[in-house]
Structures are given as structure tokens and as C-alpha cells.
Amino acid sequence: MLELICISYNDYLIRGDFKVLDKDSLWQKLSTEFRKNTTDLTYDTWIKPVTPVDFDGSTLTLSLPSELHRDYWKEQLAPNLIEYAFVITKGNIEPKFILDSDIKKEAQKKEPAKADSTADDQDETFSFSKETHLNPNYTFDNFIIGKGNQMAHAAALIVSEEPGKLYNPLFFYGGVGLGKTHLMQAIGNKRLEDHPETNVKYVTSEAFTNDFINAIQTNRTEEFRREYRNVDLLMVDDIQFFAQKEGTQEEFFHTFNDLYNNDKQIVLTSDRVPQEIPKLQERLVSRFAWGLPVDITPPDLETRIAILKSKAKLDNLTIPNETLSYIAGQINSNVRELEGALSRVQAYSKLKNEPITTDLVYEALKGLKLAKANNELSIMDIQNKVASYFHVTISDLKGKKRMKSIVIPRQIAMYLSREMTSNSLPKIGKEFGGKDHTTVIHACDKIAEVIKIDADIRKEISDIKTALS
């Protein structure tokens, strides 16, 4: 990787021997490419309203006026942007999308606190509390109970009232977007509301791993241990990502023991039972089963309608009951997609300046509905699943980054698109950021070979296939 030598030069920065544009100049050049290659209507609707916010040499942050714009950019325009940017800068540029409303909200929030703000404050993610990293919206009040999550909900409530006693660790497992994180954080939020003195810590397993690696690199392992072992309630999300991380597992084992022996509460989530997490140490598997492992399954129709009703109320949306039932009937996979459908509908109604009716919803969700009616798995379904399984973005799958952590998921997604859909090789290539069909053939051959010798990848692919079928 070439070093960034920050020499300001008109609108250029110089990186190695490449010229790197600043955000406005880069965006101007990209807009010109889009104007050349799209219709006036597409340009005026989707590209013109975009504002460049930041460009750090590898990520271009763009602000968009609505959720609908964001969906459209992610699904349709991002691959073109990556390609145009590659031609312009000779580098891999990733787009990042934020909403104009988030920028406004953030500006308003910062305004009163300006006087005592610090550099650290500026790094905080929107609306997340600095100390605990809890999302304040993930509460028991906002959580709709249905058949698939009632056990998990009951256990969570008990743990929030009597941590460290009955179910330790509490272990939620289940598919993507079913509310594991929400429920876990609801425990933390309630505990803090009832007992503000409680020391609560929420991290993803990746954040734990990164903290640990940083601590080693900076000789601060003692500090790391003090931080993690001095809490009353530790929540670690998505622990399936501890798979194959020997050193982190070792450290987590000691963290776990320390907290457990001191009657501190541990809450964990994973997309599968501990026994199925590849290369998870046996002693961790058995410890995770000490408390209560409880699964969360997808919501039935009634629960989906109730969830939609509650989200609509939170967003002050007026939606007739039959329209809510219609939306709930269209999306039966997970709650995150249900929320996505609702925000797509909301944005569509704003754009058209019409009230939300079943007809309007039909139009807004047309693309999703068509895929469902044909009952065919789309390449997009596969990309979504693979991206969430490996925690990469859709842009990663469509882009050109050569890191192993991205290349393997990309090749797996191409392989599955070939295996599980009837799309031609050129069509698959096109859906992966306009790649040539020979790249797809190479990916398919590569994965077919790897499957023969690598049991972990074989298992991962089989998990994704099961989730897709």
C-alpha cells in the first residue's frame, strides 16, 4: 500500500505517484461519467441530489436525501461509481452513504454541547451512548413479543432484573435480523435505567478482538483486562466471529471465568449454537452451555404486523391495517428486512407526495414482489446473505478489493449465484460490479477446488445454502 503523503496541490492530494482528488473534484468527475452513461431522468432523480461529504483517499462519503436514494445507490449505482472511480483515480474507492437528515440531526446534537466537546466526541457514532455503546432505541418497550422470541424475551427480562443469578451466561442464538442484538441491549438499557450505577459493557466479538490486539500491540493488556473484568454486565454480540481466533478465545476464556466467578452477568449472541461454531475451544463451548441457551426464530404473520404497527407509530406514520398486513405478507424473512421495506415505503410516499396505501406499497415494493412471485432466488438475495454472513458490505462483493477477507466471500457469492440461480455467467459478472464472465468462471472453479480440501469453507457454504433455501 502506498503511503499517503498529504501535499495539498490545487484540488489534488498526492498519494505515492497517484493523484488523489479532493471530494468535490472527484464527485464532479464522477457526476460527469454518470451524466454520460445514464438517462436524464436517472441523473436528475438519483445523482443530482447527492452531496459529497468526505473523501479520505479510499472512501468517498456521499449524503443522500432519502432512504430510497440510499437503497437505489447501494443496489444500482454503487458498482458503476466504483468502476468510474477506478478509472479516474486508478485506485479502489469505496462509496459510503449517509442521509442528509443524519447530518442535520448530528449538527443539532452537537450545537448545545459545542463548548465542552472533545476530539473523542467527534468519533462517536450517531445516537450511541459514549460509555456503553448501547443504542437507546433497543428497549423492552420497543420489542414486540411473538411465538419465536417469547422465551428469549422472558429470559432477558429476568436477567435484567437479577443479573448474575439465574441464567449465566444467557446465550441467544438464531438467524440474521431477528432481534438478538435488540434484546441483548434491552437488558443493558433497563439495567442502567433501574440501577444507573451498574457497569455495563456491550461489544461485538470483533470489537473485543480488536481491543485485545491493540492492547497487545501497545503493551496495555493490563488495562484491557481491567476494563473487561471490572464490569457487572458484559454483553458480547455475534460470538461466531471468535471462530478460529485462538488468542482471542484464550483471552475471552479468562475474562469469562473472572466475571462468572464474581457473579457478574454475561450475555452472548451468535447465529448458531456454540457446538456449531467452527474451531471454538471445547472449554468455551461447555461454558456457554452452563447458563441458558435460547433460540429466536422468525416472526409469524401476526407478529410481523405488530412489529410494523409499532415501527409505524414510532415514525408517526399513518398506515391502514390492511396495508400493514399487505407489507407483512410480502416480507417473511427477518425483521431487518421488514424495517427496510417500511422505510422504502415511507420514502416512496414522500417522494410521490401521496399517503401510504396498499397501491402505493405495491409500487414501492414491486421489485421485491416480482422476485417472490417467481419464487426464484435472485443474485441479490445471495449477495445479501453472503454479505451478512461474512460481515462484508455489498459494495465489497461488487468491488475490486483484493483482501482475502473480501475475495473469498465474493468468490463464494459468485459460486452460489452460478449454482443456485439460472443466471448466465455474463449476467452474474454484471451483477458483481460489471466483471467479466471469465472472472466468474475463475471464482467458481476456485471455490469448487477449495470445497474439496477445506472443511470450514465447506461448512460455511452449506450454512449459507441452508439459510437461502
Binding residues for ATP: 177, 179-181
Nearest to 60 by CA among 37, 39, 84, 43: 84
* Nearer of residues 178 and 317 to ligand ATP, judged by Cβ: 178
Q: Please name the residue that has the C-alpha cell 458503476.
A: 80
For ligand ATP, the binding residues (CB under 6 A) are 142-144, 149, 176-182, 238, 271, 307, 335-336, 339, 388
Q: Tell me how far, at minimum, the Cβ of 67 lies from ligand ATP, in Å.
A: 14
Whether 93 contacts 59, CB under 8 Å: yes
- Cα first-last separation, the chain: 40
* Nearer of residues 298 and 429 to ligand ATP, judged by Cβ: 298
Q: Please name the residue that has the C-alpha cell 428486512.
A: 337
Vertex 463: Cα angle to 251 and 284 (nearest 5): 20
Task: Report helix, strand or coil for 20.
Answer: strand
Q: Tell me how far, at minimum, the Cβ of 81 lies from ligand ATP, in Å.
A: 26
Q: Tell me how far, at minimum, the Cβ of 307 lies from ligand ATP, in Å.
A: 5
* Nearer of residues 52 and 177 to ligand ATP, judged by Cβ: 177
* Nearer of residues 161 and 337 to ligand ATP, judged by Cβ: 337
Cα gap 80→18, rounded to integer Å: 21
Whether 277 contacts 245, CB under 8 Å: no
| Strand 265-270 with 170-174, pairing | parallel
Cα gap 444→435, rounded to integer Å: 14
Report which residue's Cβ sits closest to ligand ATP.
179
Q: Tell me how far, at minimum, the Cβ of 200 lies from ligand ATP, in Å.
A: 17
* Nearer of residues 80 and 181 to ligand ATP, judged by Cβ: 181
* Nearer of residues 144 and 406 to ligand ATP, judged by Cβ: 144
Distances from the Cα of 23 to the Cα of 46, 58, 65, 85, 412, angstroms: 18, 11, 18, 12, 33
Q: Tell me how far, at minimum, the Cβ of 306 lies from ligand ATP, in Å.
A: 8
Q: Tell me how far, at minimum, the Cβ of 336 lies from ligand ATP, in Å.
A: 4
